[in-house]
């Protein structure tokens, strides 16, 4: 019974999305149907999940992460790895790989290093359309040109990168060695290269270089040769579908949403602190045409609270597992303090570049 309750608690976002869909459907008197673009987003996200899972299962990601243990400036390398891996593997997957590795190292301030990795994953994933779920949705929903997307988010991601580099060098001692001898991971299987090509294929479909159907090759290969890679986060995919319907119902209930860019940015960033940045992006996309403000707001909203981004929850849960209540409280205070500093920096950065109209 306790295990069942724990499983339900872990899927709080899905439960909240389903409850919101049900309540708003009763209020508007209809059950909304997902549109074709919305279904395409879920299809592409599913394909990316499977390709990344295949790479993890084949050992390629493990070998890469272990290689980071060697040499000098290990805290900096781990922080940069979180930033750049999240662009391709998503921020969630990057932290699932790197945080356990960090916890196996003998570093004085592993707590600060885990926090820096979470910040780096949120900042790096913002740069690409497939770095996190909200980017993929907004990129597809508004049909943003790839170069326009990159230009808009480079102004967001790069300032964070510039701050993270000295932070990793100064806040965390440079010397780090494995806390216990770690076994050398198995050599990456040949199919890892197949999954690498399939990930590239899915990315090209996201960028509209190839038709959406091309990403179906990921599922064909997985079903034929590696069904383990199909064990992905189905709860997140269902959450997306529920929030699509919830957002559509809210659009019918509200006469209009915020229209000024600054208002859209602040509303989505603040809403993310309570309902997470993925549902905030889905909700406000139905209410505004200000894609740039919403894109910034949803990504800035990933900083701050634990609920702001699923990546925050992943890093937090991995670190506090097995810790004493006192250690958990201290880490929570540091995580929130540094996270909200990054959140306020994002707000200041947005208005500094003049996106208020």
Say what the pLDDT of residue 118 is: 96
CA distances from 73 to 13, 78, 80, 108 (A): 37, 9, 11, 14
User: CA–CA separation, 342 vs 118, rounded Å?
Assistant: 11
Residue 147 has pLDDT above 90, yes or no: yes
Which residues are within 8 A (CB) of 239 and not within 5 positions of it... i.e. 6 or more apart? 13, 14, 17, 278, 279
Q: Nearest Cα to 278, choosing from 146, 54, 122?
A: 122
* Mean pLDDT of the 30-42 span: 83
Say what the pLDDT of residue 162 is: 96
Say what the pLDDT of residue 207 is: 83
Instruction: Give the tens place of pLDDT for each residue, 206-240.
Output: 888 899 999 999 999 999 998 998 988 788 788 77
Say what the pLDDT of residue 38 is: 81
Say what the pLDDT of residue 62 is: 62
Q: Which of 14-23, 209-218, 328-337 has the lowest mean pLDDT?
A: 14-23
User: CA–CA separation, 27 vs 91, rounded Å?
Assistant: 36
Structure token pair of residue 102: 């960090």
CA distances from 16 to 9, 30, 240, 301 (A): 11, 19, 12, 18
Q: Nearest Cα to 243, choosing from 273, 297, 204, 280?
A: 280
Structure token pair of residue 192: 């890892």
User: CA–CA separation, 79 vs 77, rounded Å?
Assistant: 5
Instruction: Give the tens place of pLDDT for each residue, 290-331.
Output: 999 999 999 999 999 888 888 898 888 888 877 888 888 999
Instruction: Give the tens place of pLDDT for each residue, 268-279.
Output: 999 899 878 888
Instruction: Give the tens place of pLDDT for each residue, 48-60.
Output: 888 888 887 887 6
CA distances from 109 to 102, 103, 115, 143 (A): 10, 10, 10, 43
* Mean pLDDT of the 160-181 span: 76
Q: Is 310 left (phi over 0), alpha (psi -120 to 50) or beta?
A: alpha
Say what the pLDDT of residue 5 is: 44
pLDDT bracket for residue 180 (50, 70, 90): very low
Report helix, strand or coil for 105.
strand
Beta-bridge partner residues of 353 = none
CA distances from 228 to 28, 41, 57, 224, 319 (A): 41, 23, 8, 11, 27
User: CA–CA separation, 9 vs 14, rounded Å?
Assistant: 10
Cα angle for residues 170, 166, 347 (degrees, 5° grid): 120
Answer for the pair 222, 229: CB distance below 8 angstroms, yes or no. yes
Residue 139 has pLDDT above 90, yes or no: yes
Instruction: Give the tens place of pLDDT for each residue, 238-255.
Output: 877 887 787 777 777 765
Q: Which of 90-99, 174-183, 333-342 has the highest mean pLDDT?
A: 333-342
Report which secondary-structure segment, H or E, holds 189: none
> In terms of C-beta distances under 8 Å and separation of at least 24 residues, what long-range contacts does 344-353 make, across chains too?
345/159, 345/160, 345/163, 346/156, 346/160, 346/269, 346/296, 346/299, 346/300, 346/303, 347/266, 347/269, 347/300, 349/155, 349/156, 349/159, 350/265, 350/296, 350/297, 350/300, 351/262, 353/155
Which residues are within 8 A (CB) of 145 and not within 5 positions of it... i.e. 6 or more apart? none
Instruction: Give the tens place of pLDDT for each residue, 60-113.
Output: 666 666 666 666 778 898 999 999 999 987 888 888 778 877 877 766 788 999
DSSP letter, residue 106: E
pTM score of the predicted model? 0.78
Residue 256 has pLDDT above 80, yes or no: no
């Amino acid at each position: 019974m306790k295990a069942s309750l724990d499983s339900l608690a872990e899927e709080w976002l899905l439960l909240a999305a389903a409850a919101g869909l049900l309540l708003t459907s009763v209020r508007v008197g209809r059950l909304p149907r997902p549109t074709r673009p919305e279904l395409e987003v879920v299809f592409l996200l599913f394909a990316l999940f499977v390709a990344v899972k295949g790479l993890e299962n084949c050992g390629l990601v493990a070998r890469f992460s272990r290689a980071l243990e060697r040499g000098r400036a290990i805290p900096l390398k781990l922080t940069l790895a979180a930033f750049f891996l999240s662009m391709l593997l998503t921020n969630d997957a990057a932290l699932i790989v790197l945080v356990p590795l960090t916890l196996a190292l003998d570093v004085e301030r592993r707590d600060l290093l885990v926090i820096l990795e979470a910040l780096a994953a949120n900042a790096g994933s913002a740069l690409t359309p497939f770095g996190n779920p909200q980017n993929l949705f907004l990129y597809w929903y508004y049909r943003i040109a790839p170069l326009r997307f990159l230009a808009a988010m480079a102004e967001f991601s790069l300032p964070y990168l510039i701050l993270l580099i000295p932070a990793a060098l100064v806040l965390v001692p440079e010397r780090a060695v494995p806390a216990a001898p770690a076994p050398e991971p198995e050599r990456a299987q040949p199919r890892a290269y197949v999954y690498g090509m399939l990930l590239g294929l899915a990315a090209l479909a996201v960028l509209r270089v190839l038709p959406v159907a091309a990403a179906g090759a990921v599922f064909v290969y997985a079903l034929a040769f590696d069904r383990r890679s199909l064990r992905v986060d189905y709860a997140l995919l269902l959450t997306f579908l529920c929030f699509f319907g919830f957002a559509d119902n809210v659009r019918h209930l509200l006469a209009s949403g915020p229209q000024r860019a600054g208002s859209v940015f602040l509303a989505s960033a603040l809403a993310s602190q309570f309902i997470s940045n993925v549902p905030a992006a889905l909700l406000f996309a139905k209410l505004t045409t200000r894609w740039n403000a919403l894109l910034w707001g949803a990504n800035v909203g990933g900083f701050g609270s634990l609920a702001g981004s699923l990546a925050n929850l992943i890093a937090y849960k991995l670190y506090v597992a097995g810790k004493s209540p006192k250690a958990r409280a201290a880490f929570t205070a540091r995580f929130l303090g540094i996270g909200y500093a990054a959140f306020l920096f994002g707000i200041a950065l947005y208005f500094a570049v003049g996106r208020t109209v």
